[in-house]
């Protein structure tokens, strides 16, 4: 897995160190433990949800430019893997998940593995106002448009990394940075994510 990350351009020593240290097998289903380090997304314990491909986690976390002691928000806890990688980069992490059972399992897992992550259950499209502002915010699901409430929870110099849907089936990983009180956005390339569902996201599907 590490060779593949380096081959695909991950350069940050902190991110590589974190990816090498977080035990991914603890975050996947029992049946998938044997290929926990394959570079692909794997199912987690909720319909249609996945733990992201390691390369995508590394790309997102590298784009956050985390520094030791940063306050970071992870939207869409899922298994808690990305939150753990962010904490392993030295950040104090707040993570929010809309599916209660996932939030609970991830919170227990992260506590057991002793990562500095506080898990909330709820709609992360509105951020976590009681813990804002943040130096960095990662969104682990695809948003229909720029999530403004999240951008408003950044400190000056803060970074928001979010996949935004450009057309059906095509997302663009986008980084927004607050510079001199203005939002600067840049595109980091195409990506695939599950939909972000909530007040400033997509509507809940009938099957949800």
Residues contacting ligand SAH: total by CB under 6 A: 25
Q: Per rule CB under 6 A, is residue 98 in the interface with ligand SAH?
A: yes
Give Cα 204 to chain centroid, integer Å: 20
Binding ligand SAH (rule: CB under 6 A), the pick from 61, 70, 76, 136 is 76
Q: Which of residues 27-46 bind ligand SAH (CB under 6 A)?
A: none
For the bound state, the minimum distance from the C-beta of residue 159 to ligand SAH, rounded and expressed in Å, comes to: 17
Q: Per rule CB under 6 A, is residue 140 in the interface with ligand SAH?
A: yes
For the bound state, the minimum distance from the C-beta of residue 196 to ligand SAH, rounded and expressed in Å, comes to: 4
Catalytic residue among 52, 79, 95, 101: 52
CB-nearer residue toward ligand SAH: 141 or 154: 141
- Residue 52 appears among annotated catalytic residues: yes
Q: Per rule CB under 6 A, is residue 196 in the interface with ligand SAH?
A: yes
Binding ligand SAH (rule: CB under 6 A), the pick from 62, 70, 123, 171 is 123
| Structure token digits, residue 26 | 């603890």
Q: Per rule CB under 6 A, is residue 154 in the interface with ligand SAH?
A: no
Please report the DSSP string for the chain in residue order: -HHHHHHTT---HHHHHHHHHS-GGGTS-GGGGGGTTSSS-EE-SSTT-EEPPHHHHHHHHHHHT--TT-EEEEE--TTSHHHHHHHHTT-EEEEEESSHHHHHHHHHHHHHTT--EEEEES-GGG--GGG--EEEEEE-SBBSS--HHHHTTEEEEEEEEEEEEEETTEEEEEEEEEETTEEEEEEEEEE--PBPBSTTSBPPPTT-
Please give the positions annotated as active site: 52
Which residues of the chain form contacts with ligand SAH (CB under 6 A)? 49-52, 75-76, 78-79, 81-82, 96-99, 102, 123-125, 140-141, 194, 196-198, 201
């Amino acid at each position: 897995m590490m060779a593949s990350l380096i081959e695909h351009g991950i350069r940050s020593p902190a991110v590589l160190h974190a990816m090498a240290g977080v035990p991914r097998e603890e975050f996947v289903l029992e049946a998938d433990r044997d290929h926990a380090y394959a570079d692909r997304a794997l199912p987690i314990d909720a319909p249609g949800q996945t733990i992201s491909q390691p390369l995508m986690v590394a790309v997102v976390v590298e784009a956050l430019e985390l520094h030791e002691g940063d306050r970071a928000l992870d939207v869409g806890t899922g298994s808690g893997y990305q939150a753990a990688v962010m904490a392993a980069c030295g950040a104090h992490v707040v993570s929010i998940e809309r599916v209660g059972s996932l939030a609970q399992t991830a919170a227990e897992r992260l506590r057991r593995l002793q990562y500095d992550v506080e898990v909330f259950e709820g709609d992360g499209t509105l951020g976590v106002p009681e813990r804002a502002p943040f130096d960095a915010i990662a969104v682990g699901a695809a948003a229909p448009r720029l999530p403004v409430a999240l951008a408003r929870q950044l400190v000056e110099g803060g970074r928001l990394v979010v996949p935004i849907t450009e057309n059906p089936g095509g997302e663009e990983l986008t980084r927004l940075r607050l510079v001199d009180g203005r939002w600067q956005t840049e595109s980091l390339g195409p990506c695939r994510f599950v939909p972000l569902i909530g007040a400033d996201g997509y509507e809940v599907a009938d099957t949800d």
